[in-house]
Amino acid sequence: MNAILTLENVSADLGGMLVINDVSMSIPVGQIVGLIGPNGSGKSTLLNLIGGTLRPLRGSIAFDGREISRLKPDAIFRLGIGRAFQDPALFVNMSVLDNTILPIQGQRGETPWNAPRRHLWVHEEQGNALSAQDALAQVNLDGHTRKLASDLSGGQMKLLEIARSTMGAPRLLLLDEPTAGVAPRLARQIFEQINEMRHTLGLTFLIVEHRLDILFDFADTVYVMHQGGILMHGTPDAVAADRQVREVYIGY
Amino acid sequence: MLDALLVDSVVRSIQTGSLYALMAIGLTLTFNVVRLPNFAHAELITIGAYAALLVSMGISTNVPVILLAAFIAAALAAVLSHRLVFRPLERKGSSIYTLMLASFAVGMIFRYILFLIVDTYSLFDKRIQVPVEIWIRSTPLILTNLFFWAVPTSIVLVLLLTLLLRGTGLGREMRALAGNFDLARVMGIRVERVKMLTWFLAGGLAGVAGALWALQTSVNPTMGWLVILSVVAATFLGGMTSFVGTIVAAYIVSFSENTLMQLLNYFLGVDFGFKPAIPFIIILAVLLFRPDGIAALFQSIRKR
């Protein structure tokens, strides 16, 4: 199967401590890949490495066959890797609509010589507002476009982040605990929407998640992290049945 | 007697307040978008004033031409300071305190380069060659052409900047950078380009303010440095984050320095020598009693 993202022998340190140790993984196009592991096992750090906010010490990260481990976060985003964070990271003083439009690439009104000439970009802006409206409708937020992002509820902020992460024409989305702090019923709904977006938008997902019951219902492959390394990977059933994984995850 | 003094000081308050607003807006812009309390803003004002002076002496006494030249000169100086000093420091991960100290140094370097040039070509205390004309005289009110350049130009520029920020894609990117820099970067915004444009705009506005200032006083290398404290007082009082707050605060500072000072002098006999203390008192009062400035006051009113 075609891999959209491959990590080979990636290691990284934070303040001199090795937090990612020789990680290799391969994410096939169109899959929902889960990333699980106990707190502090390095899941979010791994997402930071892929997204470019952290640089690896060693190893290679290739997106679509192109090495990205030395690129800046904004360049990586423009290649087609979108992100959503564990604590909703929104522009709280901007409207829901502005938050959603922001990641769209190559907007004509964003260059200084075009910005004062409204006729050059007003149609494009309207088109962007419509596609933002569509993305917001996908997560049932289309009734809140004019609100400030800070006026949304915690669950709605999560949904807004997911809607926004689909706007920059991404092909791979890195989601860090999309259901954290969300009511159980809404959590399942979020994953249903993710699953739908995979089909309608042809997206690939790498999702860090603690709610294993829901994740296992939707994921194609699950990677298990432990102490900065990959413990195992496989189908949700294989992972759930693994004795080692159960030992790491006492109580599950 | 008091009538005439009061009318005169109110006119001066409005005129100076408009210029303070223009200067403070640029300072607020760099503080929010680039995350730098830029004290070299003072010298950008001076550079604008000297650009205006030179153009008026050699090229044209047409005010729009003078203002345009001042905008470009100060904008370029701002971009230059960003490229040569602040960006390399940011890349090294310098703290905001280091950057602020560096901004003092940059200001000083600009100021002494100006001193050098001014000394060589004897440009001390020159006046801009735009003749003063009285446009409205109905005693005790006297309004000159300079008033009609300073006030509307400032208001129009502040409005244009607000439109740019609120109504265009570029403005949206700038607001995003101001809101959350790291997030803006992860969202694929070309942060370096937006920063550079912010410097260009903030510098340009400071330059125009300097030129308008230079129309009504004599030009010398410390003129920006002498007003920067009032401008900082206005940004503090404005709450550092909101434009409306900054503009209101600019007029408050200017009215305190002119009209309030006039009243204090008339009724209590306070000497005009105390005028420079007023911005200090405002800054202290804000820090002690309303650390979030006027912006927070607006928000609490709106929330109610």
Q: Does residue A76 belong to any structural domain of this protein?
A: yes
The whole-number average pLDDT for the span A110-131 is 83
User: Residue A1: what pLDDT?
Assistant: 59
> Looking at beta carbons, which residues of chain B come within 8 Å of A101?
172
Give per-residue pLDDT as tens, B257-298: 888 888 888 888 778 888 888 878 888 887 787 767 666 665
Measured between CB atoms, which of B170, B186, B189 is closest to A53?
B186
**Domain map of chain B by residue range?**
2-303
Identify the closest residue of chain A to B185 by CA–CA distance.
A74
Q: Does residue A209 belong to any structural domain of this protein?
A: yes
Q: At B265, phi and psi to the nearest 5?
A: -70, -45
Please, what is the average pLDDT of chain A?
Answer: 87
User: Residue B44: what pLDDT?
Assistant: 95
Interface probe for A, chosen from B186, B191, B303 (most Cβ of A below 10 Å), is B186
Edge-to-edge order in the sheet of strand A3-14: A17-28, A3-14, A58-63, A66-67
Across the interface, whether the CB atoms of B169 and A83 are under 8 A apart is answered no
CATH code, domain carrying A182? 3.40.50.300
Most confident range (mean pLDDT) of A112-121, A183-192, B49-58 is B49-58
Choose among A197, A178, A173: nearest CA to A188. Answer: A178
Q: Does residue A24 belong to any structural domain of this protein?
A: yes
Give per-residue pLDDT as tens, B159-168: 888 888 888 8
Measured between CB atoms, which of B164, B179, B186 is closest to A83?
B186
Q: What percentage of chain B exceeds 70 in pLDDT? A: 95
The whole-number average pLDDT for the span B242-269 is 84
> Looking at beta carbons, which residues of chain B come within 8 Å of A74?
185-191
User: Residue B276: what pLDDT?
Assistant: 81
Q: Does residue A71 belong to any structural domain of this protein?
A: yes
AA identity, residue B273 = G
Across the interface, whether the CB atoms of A74 and B189 are under 8 A apart is answered yes
User: Residue B72: what pLDDT?
Assistant: 95
> Looking at beta carbons, which residues of chain A come within 8 Å of B186?
51, 53, 73-74, 77, 83, 89
Upper half-sphere CA count for residue B188 (Cβ side, 13 Å): 26
Residue B96 has pLDDT above 70, yes or no: yes
Q: What percentage of chain A exceeds 90 in pLDDT? A: 27
The more confidently predicted of residues B41 and B181 is B41
CATH number of the structural domain B2-303? 1.10.3470
What three-state secondary structure class fits B180? Answer: coil
User: Residue B301: what pLDDT?
Assistant: 55
Quote the CA–CA distance of B125 and A84 in Å, as a whole number. 58
Q: Does residue A136 belong to any structural domain of this protein?
A: no
Per the structure, the count of domains in chain A is 1
Give per-residue pLDDT as tens, A20-51: 999 999 999 999 999 998 888 889 999 999 99
Give per-residue pLDDT as tens, B100-117: 899 999 999 999 999 998
User: Residue A81 pairs with which residues in a beta bridge?
Assistant: A172
Q: Does residue A89 belong to any structural domain of this protein?
A: no
Q: Does residue A223 belong to any structural domain of this protein?
A: yes
> Looking at beta carbons, which residues of chain A come within 8 Å of B171?
115
Q: Does residue A130 belong to any structural domain of this protein?
A: no
Instruction: State the pairing for strand pair A221-226/B134-138.
Output: unpaired
Identify residues of A whose CB sits under 8 angstroms from chain B CBs.
51, 53, 72-74, 77-78, 83, 89-94, 98, 101-103, 105, 107-112, 115-116, 118, 121, 125, 164, 168
Q: Which value does ipTM take for this structure?
A: 0.74
Spatial contact of B262 and B9, defined as CB atoms under 8 Å apart: yes
The more confidently predicted of residues A170 and B295 is A170
Quote the CA–CA distance of B118 and B43 in Å, as a whole number. 14
Q: What residue numbers bound the domain in which A237 lies?
A: 3-80+169-248
User: Residue B304: what pLDDT?
Assistant: 44
* pLDDT range class, residue A166, cuts 50, 70, 90: confident
